Structure 1
């Protein structure tokens, strides 16, 4: 599935594959997905979306917000028992060449999407907290491992996602529960296109900012 949350789908999956994580790249058109998979490297499998959802223990919906809503409805029953990872931002281009939020005031994309999951599915916001160019970064300016935030109410699911973040070469830091997802979305105080103003953080600074 194409990523529309500010990251590159190839970079995201390349990081996971390089970390020894089994990756299934899903798409409605397998030819396009296979081309992306070939660019990522060996070990990346391609499947139709329904098959990938059925086979995966963790499912990353790296799609536009509206598309993610549709996918959650389409595959609702198949998501029971799975960890659903959401990197989306509910934004659109504005007339000034930037982007604007489409969220209702005071409500994050994560808060909206998490409500659409069936009972038994476990929601984690992650992998949308860095711009595409930062996904190739291996250290901060000070030489530390860069932090990648995640947010969830389910601490066990969060630990699974934290392992995926570590496998991708980043230092995982929990920003809080679902009520904190807005902090790690675009315009949030813990997002590079928000309060961080493009900065990569190390763990010490990230944990200090999470505590406020």
Structure 2
């Protein structure tokens, strides 16, 4: 795609407002986790979520989190982006490929904030983890990736309203359940998950601005089914 095919339009006040609020929330969370060790809220939520563990539920939560592993997410995003590119959906391919940038952003803040992972003294650990805890990289990726899929689904004329609603709900469930799985597995605190979600929303707002301003939807001459 040629760079000059983009039209850089002025950001409207609503977009600026949403972006500013998200930035402030993320800054507040970052300062909070730097200044305070895990408090009652984090510990209480972890204990509540882990209260009724079972082998079947453990396997389900591990499977849900599996998509957020670096190697899996990279292969998933690149494969889907190539498929979209082959189908001549260039802007959609670029949008999806840009979700990989979330990993770099997440790692930057992990190193900068340097919050330790939950310990076995406070929670049940069901997953081996690495890097620091805040923000949750899984939730960050899920928010950006599935959020981008929602953008594409809602912006296409190839699908009818019912299919759009179903696919959107599936994506939303993946974001929510993915976030719960990180606490359930003992990999993150609630504030880590919330931080990953907010940071993901910030990146999604930026991606959505350029995507929606520069396309009238996924180009499709076929009739909706």
User: What TM-score results when the alignment is normalised by the length of structure 2?
Assistant: 0.25
User: What TM-score results when the alignment is normalised by the length of structure 1?
Assistant: 0.26
Larger radius of gyration: 2
Q: Which has the higher helix share?
A: 2
Q: Which has the higher strand share?
A: 1
